[in-house]
Structure 1
């Protein structure tokens, strides 16, 4: 599984100090039952999807590429994270193209290095 993290990763407040450790464990595909992943949807009809990181242990993710934009402490925090992302995108662009906004910011970050 290939995991890429968003340059301005959204993280539950309680996990700010553990962000690097959680990211490392996700890349190593280690079990983290409380961790929910918010990622760009694999299908083009949706913008975001979120699920328990335990699903990443399933074989359907073996060859998958995942662009993680947020990590959350459980289901409720994942909902809050999606709401936060949506609100930020709309307030900055007055549009609802979440996927486009996140990919554009990531591209700018990779191009400029900040």
Structure 2
């Protein structure tokens, strides 16, 4: 998995970031972890997935860009709202996908 270099974290997860990422990389079950990833469908911006989906054989999410990590689905929704707000403040638009890709490439 790839992780956005400006990774969004739900409040309270900042100190656990490295531990969570390590468990994700080792395919360990994390019951309370939801990931906000860049959508595989280029017409959409973001998807919210439970980390357990990554444990399924052949799940296509292994190569996706993780934009945010939350401890609950509700927390993930709040992060998506924060991401959209940040993008709008910076650009005056809500083209989240292009904003994230340009930030990831160093612009």
- TM (normalized to structure 1)? 0.88
Are positions 1:28 and 2:26 aligned together?
yes
Q: Which residue of 1 aligns with 2:80?
A: 82
Question: SS of the counterpart of 2:16?
Answer: helix
**1:83-102 equivalences in 2 (<5 Å):** 83-102=81-100
Question: SS of the counterpart of 1:13?
Answer: coil
CA distance in 2, matches of 1:34, 1:63: 18
Tell me how large the CA RMSD over aligned residues is: 1.4
**What residue ranges of structure 2 are gaps of 5+ in the alignment?**
none
CA distance in 2, matches of 1:82, 1:93: 16
More helix as a share of residues:
1
CA distance in 2, matches of 1:89, 1:46: 15
**1:1-114 equivalences in 2 (<5 Å):** 3-61=1-59, 64-108=62-106
**What residue ranges of structure 1 are gaps of 5+ in the alignment?**
110-114
